[in-house]
Structure 1
Amino acid sequence: MKYSVLGTTGVKVSRICLGTATFGVAPTAQDADRVVGAAIDLGVNFVDTADVYGNMPVFDRPGAPAAADREPAEQILGHALRNRRDQMVIASKSNGIVGHDINDRGLSRRHIIRQVETSLRRLQTDYIDLYYAHDPDPDTPLEQTLAVYDDLIRQGKIRYVGLSNHPAWQVTQALWIADDRRLNAPVAAQVKYNLIDRTAERELGPACDHFGLSIVPYAPLHGGLLADLAVLDREVSGDQRFGAAGFSEAEIALAREAERLSREWGLKPYQVSLAWLLSRPAVASAIVGAETADELRVNATAADVELEPAQLDALTALAAEPAAFEHRAGDGPARPSTTTGSAS
């Protein structure tokens, strides 16, 4: 396994991050322990979760327990990490709707503190390594949100702060606020980013690269389409796992071309797609929502794949539209260097 430095923290995280959005559904609560164990065996030391993952109706699918009968993903992860919590860098987040009260959501001081305490209990830990604002909250000034994160860091309940699904201008604004008020600044940005969806390259990527934040992409295989075209034969695939639509014809066509190139190079589509993403500026680790231990094992092999410049260019050219701003080496200050290591 290879590792990257997370932003400016000095903390090294595996280039593959275990995602837990569907914990309790796939894998089941019983199988999650095996998935987490496989991650540790592979050298994966980074896991991503959230207060709303796992037991919400949006994750329902045929054959899985109903939402009311499922544990939260954080709780399942807490069980799986007993006696091995220190081997993982845990990321969680809040902002989503978690109850029926009007204040059971958002990024207010009231809600964040309550959700951090809830997550700590579920995870059976006394600190969370990286805590994200899950989405922007138009009702709460960013100054208030950053101030409560700073308080929680000083209390030792969280270590670092990140922003999820925030546009580049808000990430930059957060950095200005933190600098002006001497608060702990965000160190990472989580966003949907893959070979098909390259919106992050327009502004967020260059901003993070310039200011030294790490990008931690979710959906790096676009719901499995970039992993294996056999996903099209599944009853539930892509964003259908979260109650949204399936794949478009244009997305399928791009995935077919990526698969063709992969075969030419003697590699698997998931290896090529993840290796391309991990080569992009500022990307530290890709969140893989593996539903089985075997899926995690094969996806983890991508961390060791080094594509040639010509191969990277061929993949980049597949996008229907180039990014509005294509970052080039030398456009910003040097980022923290990466390190490598071997899984035991």
Structure 2
Amino acid sequence: MDIRNLGRSGLRVSAVGLGCNNFGQRTDLETSRKVIHKAIDLGITLFDTADIYAGMGGSETVLGEVLGDRRKDIVLATKYAKPMSTDGTKQGASRRYIFNAVEASLKRLKTDYIDLYQQHEFDDRTPIEETLRALDDLVRQGKVRYIGHSNFPAWRIAEAEFTARQMGVTPFVSSQDEYSLVVRGIEKDLLPAAQQYNLGLLPFFPLANGLLTGKYKPGTEPPADSRFAKAPALRERSATPRNEAIAVKLDTFARERGHTLLELAFSWLAARPQVSSVIAGATRVEQIEQNVKAASWKLSAEEMAEIDGITL
């Protein structure tokens, strides 16, 4: 497994990370246990969860139950800011809420520190100065090692960087955003911002909700046990006529070179600027094995250019 620095920080993470949103939701405790331990055995170190995953805390609770002594072997990342209550009182990035949220996450995860604490979305009701000061205090207290953000617009990334420098507080070191062969919108503004400030990019939905696995064929119904069959909204979002046409061409491109579409999806992201780790979920041990293997294709400059011709 390739190990990389997370942006400009000294934190080292595996090039393939494990998205933990399935734990406690699509996978039961014992299945989650098998997936988690297999991931560690295969060299995955970055485990990415959030307080809202699996029904408000379910994913964190599973990780807390399963990790045990292996907690020290991984980089544990979680998130705050999205609603944890229906009345709007438990969300955002205020000092009060961050301090409450981190304690709740630490309790569920059964740990006394979080390696990477990420703001899940920007909070336009809280000054960024207040948020950064609170996060800096958590770092100084040892409850958090590094901080990152997710779903920030590019100009908010620049604002946060400038503010952290002016205040002399801990800056964000990572940005987690949707990025795949069929979703390349971040390349316009966000990716340049990540490059400017040397943020580690953590792409999520690398397989476009399953479209880039190769299991779906245009004009045919998805397999009954597939994600698209169980979640029609995801199919409608990802399997647009444009995306399906691109996926067909990419599948041909990969097969002509002795690879699968899934291997192309992972390896392309792993070769993109600023990408520190590709975040992908798994509901079965076999998927973990596929994901780890998938990022090993070293694409040439000519192949990368040809992919641009297909996807842009």
TM-score where L is the length of structure 1: 0.85
Q: Deviations over 1:263-319 (max 9, x none)?
A: 101001111111011111101111011111111111111232211222211212222
Instruction: Work out the number of aligned pairs and report it.
Output: 306
Matches within 5 A, 1:228-267: 228-230=214-216, 232-234=222-224, 237=227, 241=231, 244=234, 246=236, 247-267=239-259
Native 8 Å contact 2:224 2:230 kept in 1: no
Matching residue within 260, 278, 286 for 1:294: 286
The separation in 1 between residues aligned to 2:107 and 2:295, in whole angstroms, is: 32
Please say if 1:190 is aligned against 2:198.
no
Counterpart of 1:83 in 2: which secondary structure? helix
Judged with a 3 Å threshold, the aligned counterparts in structure 2 of structure 1 residues 241 and 47 are, in CA distance, closer, same or farther, namely: farther
Aligned to 2:32: 32
The offset of 1:147, in angstroms, is 0.9
Aligned to 1:90: 76
Matches within 5 A, 1:1-344: 1-55=1-55, 72-230=58-216, 232-234=222-224, 237=227, 241=231, 244=234, 246=236, 247-319=239-311, 322=312
Gaps of 5+ in 2: none
Native 8 Å contact 1:222 1:238 kept in 2: no
The separation in 2 between residues aligned to 1:204 and 1:23, in whole angstroms, is: 29
Counterpart of 1:18 in 2: which secondary structure? strand
Q: Percentage identity across aligned positions?
A: 35
Q: Deviations over 1:33-66 (max 9, x none)?
A: 100111111100001000000126xxxxxxxxxx
Judged with a 3 Å threshold, the aligned counterparts in structure 2 of structure 1 residues 54 and 9 are, in CA distance, closer, same or farther, namely: same
The separation in 2 between residues aligned to 1:299 and 1:254, in whole angstroms, is: 21
The separation in 1 between residues aligned to 2:114 and 2:233, in whole angstroms, is: 29
The separation in 2 between residues aligned to 1:234 and 1:139, in whole angstroms, is: 43
Native 8 Å contact 1:74 1:123 kept in 2: yes
The offset of 1:96, in angstroms, is 1.2
The separation in 2 between residues aligned to 1:108 and 1:240, in whole angstroms, is: 37
The separation in 2 between residues aligned to 1:239 and 1:173, in whole angstroms, is: 41
More helix by share: 2
The separation in 1 between residues aligned to 2:50 and 2:109, in whole angstroms, is: 11
TM-score where L is the length of structure 2: 0.93
Judged with a 3 Å threshold, the aligned counterparts in structure 2 of structure 1 residues 211 and 238 are, in CA distance, closer, same or farther, namely: farther
Native 8 Å contact 1:46 1:88 kept in 2: yes
Counterpart of 1:207 in 2: which secondary structure? helix
Counterpart of 1:84 in 2: which secondary structure? helix
The offset of 1:150, in angstroms, is 0.4
Native 8 Å contact 2:148 2:175 kept in 1: yes
The separation in 2 between residues aligned to 1:239 and 1:53, in whole angstroms, is: 21
The offset of 1:244, in angstroms, is 4.9
Native 8 Å contact 1:223 1:239 kept in 2: no
Native 8 Å contact 2:95 2:134 kept in 1: yes
The separation in 2 between residues aligned to 1:116 and 1:74, in whole angstroms, is: 12
The separation in 2 between residues aligned to 1:190 and 1:90, in whole angstroms, is: 14
RMSD over aligned Cα atoms: 1.8
Instruction: Find runs of 4+ consecutive structure 1 residues off by over 4 angstroms.
Output: 238-245
